[in-house]
Structure 1
C-alpha cells in the first residue's frame, strides 16, 4: 500500500497510508467495507489508528436508517465507541503525541452556543452543524468503523498503561452513566439505587454507583446471564423481571422505595415500573432511547414529588472521571466484551447483535 505523511500542519506525523479500509453506510441496512481516503487532522484534531470500536443499540438505529442528522449515504462511516493510538496531531495540539493510547468522548460541541458555554455540549444548539464546529463521532461525523479516525483533541483522553483497549471501549459507555449521576446530584452515598437494564450502560453504572457509596444497588433485567454479570460487578441484589414481581421486590428490599431509579433498558414498559418503585420525593434518571413513544403515569410522579432527569451521552467531562476510576481498578470493562469481529465482517457483527446470537453483551470490531 502506498504511504505518505499527513499534511504539513500535522505535527509528529508518522508514515500513514493514503487510503484505508472503512465501513460505509450506503442505505438502510446496507453497510459495505470499502477503500476510503485516510482523513487529515485539522489544527485542533488528532488522527488515531483505531484498535477497537464497540457497537451499541444506537448503531443498530443508524444501520436501520432511523437516526437523525447522519452524513449522506455513500460517504458516512459510523462507530462512536472507539479507541486506538495517536499517529498524528494538528498544528495546535500539544496535549497528546503520536504513540499515546486514547479513548474518546463521542460528542464535541461547537463551543460557542449557550449550552456549550455552560457545559451542556451533548445538547449543543448547533448539533450537526459542521460549519460551526460541532462533531459527534460516528453520528454526525465519520467514526471508528475504520482503520483511522480523526477527532477533536478536547474529546480524547490519554489512557493509563493498566487500562486495555477492551476496557477503553466501555469507558465511553461508563461516561454515559456517570453523566446521568452527575446530573441527578452526583452524591449518592447511602442511597438505595435501582437500575433497569443489565446491558453495557447498566452494568457500568452498577459499578459507578457502588464506587460512589450507594447503600444498595438493585439491578433489574430479563436475562439471567447478564444479571449474574451484574452481581459479579457489584450489584447487591438482582431481580429477574420474568420470575419475580419487580415492584414488590424493590419495596421489600428498600422499605419505602428507591431513592434513585436509573432506566437504561430502552423498554417502553419500564418507565412505569420506574414510577412504581421510586420513593416519594425520589429521583428517576432516563438515559435510554426508545423505539416509540412511551406512556406512564405522570400524575403519580407529580403527586409523589418525584424529580425526573434525562441526559444524553457521556457529557460533563465524565469520560475523564471514568478513565480515573478505571486506572484505580474501580471500573471493569474488559470482561463485558463477549464478541470480536474483524472489520470485513461488520455485517455479521450487526446481525449477531440484533439477533442476540450467543448472548452478546458488548460486540466489538477489532483491528
Structure 2
C-alpha cells in the first residue's frame, strides 16, 4: 500500500480552504494521500471539518477492491466512521450551525423507497443510486479519510461538548448494536445474553445489553486483553475460546440451558454453529457480523430448537441518536476502545497494523 504526504493549501479569509488533503484509492491496495478540492455541498447538506475517522475490517475489504458499488478508482476517498465540526451549512439547513460538533450515520437512505419510509434505510432499495438520493459515506460516496467531508443533514447528530472525538467515532458503532437489538425485538430485561466477538461492535453491543437491563452478559473471544476490557466495561463473565470449549463453558455458565439471546459479532466462520449450539430452546440469534466467505452451520439443529434468527446491517432505525444519549449519560464508553492514533499521512501504516494485528489493535483512528 503506497502513500504520499501533502500539505493543504492555506485557508482564505473565510476560514475554509479551497484545497485539502485526502486519502484516495487508486486501485486495490493503492491508497495515497493527495491534494483535492474541498468538496461542495448541496442545499440539504453540511460541510464538516473531520476531527477523526475510525478504520475497521470493512475498510480492508474496500482497500482490497472487494466491496460493491464504490466510486471509481482514482476518485474515491473511503472512511465511514467519522466525526467532526460543521464549518458550513446548505441553504435549506436550519437544524445545525457552523461550530456544532457532530457524529454521523454512515447510511443515508433515499428516503423514498418502501424500506426507507419504515426506517430500514440501511437496506435502502436504491442502495448506491446517488441520483435517487442514496448515500453511504466512505462506501458509495466519498468519506472521512480527509480533512473535510460532506454529509446530508438527515444523518447527523449533534454531540454534547463533553464527549471526545474518540467517543464520537464509537457512537456510530454502538448504533449498529442498538439497531440489531431493535431488529431482534430485543426486550432483554432480566435475560441472559451471550456476545461472540469482543471487537468494537461486540464490546459496544455488550455495553448496550447491560444498559438495556440484561441480567447477565457473557462475552466470548480469543484475545484475553479484549475480554479483560469487556469486564472493565461491565460485562458479567468472559470465556476465552483459546483456553476452553466455548460451547461447553457457556452452557456451564447458564446452568445447561443456554442464553436467551446470542449475538454473533465476531465474523468467524465457525461461530454461527457455536451460536446454534449454545442458544437455549426457543431463544434468538442475532447476526451483526460480516464474514470472509460462505459459512456452514446446522440449520436443522436451529429448527429443532425453535431458534429465531435475525440479521441487521449497520446503524438504522435512528439508533445512533439513542447511542448519543447513552454516551452523553456515561452509560456507553467508547474512548477506551481506541488503541491506536495515526495522522492521515500514515494511513498506509495504520492499515498495515490492522491487517497484521500488530500491537493488538482494537479501534484504529485516523486524524486528518
Q: Report the TM-score range of the alignment, normalised by the length of the smaller protein.
A: over 0.9
How far 1:15 sits from its partner (Å)? 2.5
Task: Report deviation, 1:336.
Answer: 0.7
Residue 2 of structure 1 and its aligned partner are, at CA, apart by 5.0
Number of the residue aligned with 1:198: 198
Partner deviation per Cα, 1:282-302 (whole Å, 9 max, x = no partner): 000001110110000000111
Match of 1:127 in 2: 127
Whether 1:246 and 2:210 are equivalent positions in the alignment is no
In structure 1, the partner of 2:182 is: 182
Deviation at 1:4, TM superposition (A): 5.0
Q: Which runs of 5+ in 2 are unaligned?
A: 1-8
Q: Which residue of 1 aligns with 2:86?
A: 86
- Aligned to 2:280, the other structure's residue is in SS state strand
Range with bigger deviation, 242-251 or 175-184: 242-251
Deviations along 1:83-122, one digit per CA (max 9) or x if unpaired, are 0000000000011100000000000000001111111000
In the alignment, what sits opposite 1:342?
Answer: 343
Structure 1 residue 279 and structure 2 residue 274: aligned?
A: no
Q: Partner of 1:210: helix, strand, or coil?
A: helix
In 2, Cα distance between equivalents of 1:24 and 1:88: 23
The Cα RMSD (Å) is 0.9
**Any idea what the Cα deviations from partners look like across 1:193-220, whole Å, max 9, x if unmatched?**
0000000000001110000010110000
Matched, 1:56 2:56: yes
2:47 — aligned with what?
47
Q: Does 1:153 align with 2:150?
A: no
Distance in 2 between residues matched to 1:2 and 1:138, nearest whole Å:
25
Instruction: Give 1:249 deviation, angstroms.
Output: 1.2
1:165-220 alpha-carbon deviations (Å, 9 max, x no partner): 11000001000001001111131101100000000000001110000010110000
Q: Does 1:26 align with 2:26?
A: yes
CA distance in 1 between partners of 2:202 and 2:309 (Å): 18
Number of matched pairs? 359
Aligned-partner Cα distance in 2 for 1:362–1:288: 16
- Separation in 1, partners of 2:127, 2:193: 32
Name the residue aligned to 1:321: 322
**What is the Cα deviation at residue 71 of structure 1?**
0.4
- Structure 2 CA distance for aligned equivalents of residues 344 and 15 of structure 1: 22
The answer as to 2:79 corresponding to 1:75 is no
User: Does the residue aligned with 1:16 lie in a helix, a strand or coil?
Assistant: coil
**Alignment partners' CA distance in 2, 1:323 and 1:162:** 12
Question: TM-score when scaled to structure 1?
Answer: 0.97
Cα deviation code 1:19-44 (max 9, x no counterpart): 10000000110000000110111010
Deviations 1:127-167 (A, max 9, x none): 00010000000000000000000000110100011211110
> What SS does the aligned partner of 2:282 have?
strand
Q: Deviations over 1:290-332 (max 9, x none)?
A: 0110000000111111110000001110000000000000000
TM-score for the superposition, normalised by structure 2: 0.96
For 1:214-268, what per-residue CA distance to the aligned partner results, in whole angstroms no more than 9, with x for missing partners? 0110000000100100111111010000111211111111121110000011010
Structure 2 match to 1:8 = none
- How far is the alpha carbon of 1:3 from its aligned partner? 4.0
- Equivalent residue number for residue 111 of structure 1: 111
CA shift at 1:55, angstroms? 0.5
User: SS state of the match for residue 293, structure 1?
Assistant: coil
